[in-house]
Structure 1
Amino acid sequence: MARYRGRHAAQQKAGKASGHRRRFQLSSSRYRRGLGGTAIAAVVMAALTASQAPGVELGGDHGKGRSDAAGDRSPGDDSYETQLPPLESPHPPEGASPGGSGDESGIPASVLKAYKDAAKSLASRTPGCGLRWELLAGIGKVESGQARGGAVDKDGTTLRPILGPVLNGAGFANIKDTDGGRWDGDTRYDRAVGPMQFIPSTWDRWGADGNGDGRKDPNNVYDAALAAGQYLCADGRDLSAKADLDRAILSYNNSDAYLRTVLAWFAYYREGTHSVPDTEGPLLPTSPGLGESGGGPDKGGSPSGPGKGTSPSKPSEPSKPGKPSESDKPGNPGGGGGDGDDGGTPSPDPTAPDAIVADGTKSFSAVAGEKFAKSPRVKVETSKGKGVKGVKVDFAIDGATEASFDGGAKKATVTTDAKGFAEAPGLDAGAKAGSFTVHASVPGKKLGTVDFTAEVAAAEADKLERTSEVVMSAPKNSAFALPIEIKATRKGEPVANTAVTAKLDNTTEGPHFENDKGEPVRTPVKLTTNEDGVAEVGKLFADDKPGDYTLTLTAEGGATVTVKLTITG
């Protein structure tokens, strides 16, 4: 079966694309009872010329000379499947296990859920759009055969990449690489990616997180369906109005034939559909640029297209999970892999960096003057979550503290190890309390930034002691001759700028401080240690009450020391 090569190729090779007729094979079980051969031929031709489809008026010549057909670059490469739906209205087959490769109305469970979730989400976010999930299903059918018949993992990500033709100008548009090979694995030219076939630059603008995992991945059917819905609803379109519906579909691919094909499937799915197990949905035949035998667009082959008069192939039998069919095996020409451009050889598992994520905690704390016990650590991984070796990761400290990496640097670059991990150098807290952030990113790649928060707490002394053991005594009604000096330390090191409280145990008589007026003061006094961790208690005076008294000094964090004060008679 043919696959259109894009609006330029379709118009140049097919001439009047809207009037093009193609052969179409129908199983005898789908013939309407009572129709003769001539009537059947008339019905088939009516479907293929697309004057209308069940329940929906099909578009006319909308794709030519219409500047409003696409307000943004179309998401994909303009290539798509041309298979039309069966002439009979769909209905779930009888029995406990509906669907299967021969039932076109069955949609793989994960894919169907993605369409419905996207439509529900957009119904609340853009209620005036009127997007129906069946429209997403129609587009998903012609773009990727419903993600290759539901070949997705439990999270909705395709088991193998679905890549369109290389956009190198050979039969398709010429689009130089815009994503560094992040999504399509090609650092020279772009390719449409995923079940809804987004070009990387368009995904960069419209990408969405449809499954809530914090990532926007065009290979994930939930993300791709939501992004496609947002794209279709753009510019205030009301998809319940035919003119806006046509414009939305044409913005996806500005081609009359594409419009009619999508509308046909849209109408078909609106008549009824049902869920089938993933990987058991109907698979579309192979197509140019998607591993078709005979060479892809850059192999010099001559793939069929409009005007070639080819007939559609019988849908492939689905592969059982974990056991690919012969047609799906890598390197088998004509296989239904759908992810290569060179005669059926599929692209390898993605190896390009796709995301940077935190490994472990994103919050750190330390005491001023010490080192942090741990450092920020990240993982650079592919779209499948596999670590990527040899990727440079930049770590940068942002904040007003004195924190730094080992050696006093504020920035450091670390290369990921064999498992994709990169850990920042050791972090010194510095002497100043406060908070800061460590940003981790991959230079030259649009992978986002991972932010780590760090808190530097004021130093707390674990020991407080006098610098002298001189006995503190004074005759009554006189001053104590010597000052009291204390030192705060933590792990044997001086603690600067920490608070110390000096408190007299007797607040009615005995030793006291004095204010500026010479009046006795027996309330606690606040001190602060200097850079050497030392603080001096203010001058003390004795009243006329001889006896022994106690002065207690307490540092922030709880370390204490007591000093005996004696007033002699």
Structure 2
Amino acid sequence: MAAQLGRRLRKGATSGAVVAAAVAALAASQAPEMIPPPTDNAGGDRAIGTGDATTPPSDGSATGDSPYFTELPPLNTPNKPGAPTHLPVITGPAEAGIPASVLAAYKRAEASVRSTDPGCNLPWQLLAGIGKVESGQARGGGVDANGTTLSPILGPALNGVGFANISDTDGGAYDGDKIHDRAVGPMQFIPSTWATWGQDANSDGKKDPNNIYDAAQAAGLYLCANDRNLALKADLDRAVLSYNRSTEYLNTVLSWFEYYKRGTHQVPDGTGVLPVDRSDNRGRGNRPASTPPYSPLPTTPAPTTSAPKPVTPDPKPSETGVPPKTPPATTDPGKTPTTPPTKPTVPPTKPTVPPTTNPTVPPAARVARLTTVATGALTATTGNAFGKAPTVAALDASGAPVTGVSIKFEIVGSTDARFAGARTTATVTTGSSGLAASPALQAGQKVGPFTVRATVVNRTLAAEFTATVTARQADTLTRLDGDAALAATTGTGFTQQLRVKATDKGALAPGVLVTGAVVTSKTATDASTEGPYFKGEAGATARTKVFTTDADGLITLAPGDLLAGDKAGTFFLKLTAPGGGSTFVELTVAAPEPTPEPSTPEPTPSTSDAPTDSPEATSSPSPSA
């Protein structure tokens, strides 16, 4: 890296302050415009936000610490198309150009990752910086219509000779090497890493590391792993180092990242500028034969007036010991003799300091106020998403927007509402318009207001929003099993099933909270203190229960869910829903029929005690008497 920096300085940088400013600018971060994710399928890519779920990377690096291109970006600010060029640059305009398919893949990957992991704040310029260093933007955009490289881009065999020692893990399927692994494709994934992180972003049915759409999305997900927030310098550094564990690599990637953030433009595929120098010192031998060599622009402008050519000194003056002869003066009748200089005078080129603002002042420090952006009332019904997101604008003292400010959104108050991913906090970076919107906000089942607070990270500047969760509504409740009363005797349970349908404006109303209360009459306002009650409940609320309609808008009371109690009589189950829907179900509780007592039979008189008129019963004297 030191050698490369010296080479770059010798090509025109005359002040170390410029290098210091460029390095200091690496600490800044900036997200692209706050726009909705694209919905088109340009390039055959599949719908935005369908990337695989991120998982923490394994030990090692995405590339196996393979070699990379070490050239640094020009110190001049990139010239955008149509801007006048007042100073000559080495490769400024060309280096700022990114091939069309490659640029589209980077922007698509950013949109996809931001839709599933907005807290990562992935900028596409970071992918461009890695793509530049790894493959020279897919060899200058050498890809077909689907984004697949015209020929494989392979790193050297990772055999432990100057590189890591990684034995084959893919059977040569990706890298054609059955002995050792090699980094593959425009983002240079080794096969073992691609097996975990590979993506099919262009919907061709396969995860191909040689396809720029697949590789860019995989790289974006890999950089965002472990809940990283790339708007924070520490997380940004860790993400890049997870790609290649080298401080020189980190500095090179971040140099290109900062360069691309200051301006880029699209160039046709196959016409991008190819880097030359690599970290393994293979130099110009790496340029593919199919790509024409690139010649840098001259460092000084061509002279506007013709001048006599200097005479070439005698050859090999060191061998003869004789100094070179002074060329004779050019003479012409009628003209003053002129003597050409031995060297053309070249005015020094002063590099332009790239940043338009002082990079030593962090974006957060330039914010004078944080204001809410009117997005209408923040309301949602239970279980549904809020239609709008809390949005703030970061402004400086003059009222101008401040780009690259990290804004922390936080849910405050007693609520079960959450941001996407079931989170209560999220950090978002302001775009060029100074705006930052929170991730999607989802209402829970708890009804009522709560607060969303937006704060400038590391500052006390804050703005607050009031959000409200309301209950889902149903304007009609209809019993589906007829109007017959439910009957039971005291001490038992109601054995009939009860089904009630909830609708709102004629449509089924799922997720509605329906309140059921046992009352003594249809005009009663309070729940009864006696009579039927709900199974499993006790105390003062035993005769009141809240039901939630299912996906078909139904509530069901199964046999045995409602008990008769010990009071005979007629009661009603009153069902009411937010929105005005209500119905009554008659409950009849009967006392059990009394059991008849057994009757006592009349006693029968004994025959021995009854008088008799039988002559046999008349006493007579015995013959002996």
TM-score, normalising length from structure 1? 0.42
Larger radius of gyration: 2
TM-score, normalising length from structure 2? 0.39
